[in-house]
Amino acid sequence: MAELESGVDRWMKHYNHWRPHQALGNETPGVKYRPKKPLKTTKKEVLEMAA
C-alpha cells in the first residue's frame, strides 16, 4: 500500500507542478491556481470551521 501511495504522490506532483496544460495556457495547475498572497484565517474562523 505504501508503494501505491508513493506512486500516486509522485504522479500528482508531476501533474500539478511539472506538466503544462494546454487548457491553462500551457501553465501548470500549481502556478495557475496558486494564491497571489497568503490566506489569512483567524483562530476564531478556524474554530468555527471545525465545529
Specify the DSSP element, H or E, that contains 32. helix 29-32
Residue 26 one-letter amino acid: N
Give this prediction's pTM. 0.51
Give the span between the Cα atoms of 51 and 11, in whole angstroms.
34
Q: At 38, is the secondary structure helix, strand, or coil?
A: coil
For the chain, which residues make up each domain, given as ranges? 2-50
The pLDDT tens digits of the residues spanning 1-51 come to 889 999 998 888 888 888 898 999 999 888 888 766 666 777 788 778 776
- Joined together, the cell numbers standing for residue 19 give 506538466
**pLDDT computed for residue 38 by the predictor:** 67
**pLDDT computed for residue 39 by the predictor:** 64
